[in-house]
Structure 1
Amino acid sequence: MLLTFRSALAKGTFDRMAVALSGLCAAHCVATAVILGLLATAGGFLSNPLFHETGLTIAIVLGAVALGYGAIQHGYMMPAAIGALGLGVMAGAMTLDHGFEESVYTVIGVAILALGHDLNHRAGR
């Protein structure tokens, strides 16, 4: 059964999707670091800047929709502020050279963003 856009927002579907995306992002960053260390040619595909820019764009859109809607519904700005901080750390990590340091900052940003989505989901209950 397909959920309408509004009911999906109300049920926290976008927050759950965003947390799942955050987990996939963290797994991607760790896997890329390992693959780059083991297989430079395979790691080249995963470390393509377009791949990261697309992922960040999706995270920003999902974050803006889910966290913004949650702030409107439950009136708490803290989850949106925490999520925005996570997105900012992730965006800042994209300015670094590919490698360990970028992966560490990206995973930190993803964790902060996931916390914001979790708080948003809990506040909506």
Structure 2
Amino acid sequence: MAQVWQKWRWDGLGLSIAGLCLLHCLITTVLLTIFATAGGLLLNPMIHEVGLGLAILLGVLALGKGFRAHGLFMPAFIGALGIGMMGGALTLPHGTMEIALTVIGVVFLGLGHLLNHRARR
């Protein structure tokens, strides 16, 4: 059981955070459509900045450790591309493009973590 935790520790945490981010983005979009007043709370820039900081930290830890273990660039490259998209989305005004770029970035980051995990098997 300890070996399973060792293999999944950082990538599992990274995938979990990516999933939470994706849920946040999708739920925020739905709530904005339904409850315009709730958008002010959920669109607080601090939430996005902290989320990006966590994504960068976990990405560096998990993808970096995976690269050292298996030596493959692709998982780290795809994960970094996703983080870049998420960071780029922070520069856009809130709206459809910001949400789309964030969601696509989260999907790329999650894919990077998944590829990293598969390469470490």
TM-score norm. by structure 2 comes to: 0.92
- Displacement over 3 Å in runs of 4+: none
What residue in structure 2 maps to residue 32 of structure 1? 28
**Superposition deviation, residue 12 in structure 1:** 2.4
Q: CA-atom RMSD, angstroms?
A: 1.6
What residue in structure 2 maps to residue 18 of structure 1? 14
**Within-5 A mapping of 1:41-120:** 41-120=37-116
Q: Which runs of no fewer than 5 residues in structure 1 stay unpaired? A: none
**Superposition deviation, residue 33 in structure 1:** 1.3
Q: Which has the higher helix share?
A: 2
In the aligned structure 2, how far is the partner of 1:78 from the partner of 1:114? 13
Q: State the number of aligned residues.
A: 120
Please say if residues 19 and 118 of structure 1, whose CA atoms lie closer than 8 Å, have aligned partners that are also in contact: yes
Quick one: percent identity of the two aligned structures?
A: 54
In the aligned structure 2, how far is the partner of 1:94 from the partner of 1:30? 16
**Superposition deviation, residue 94 in structure 1:** 0.8
TM-score norm. by structure 1 comes to: 0.90
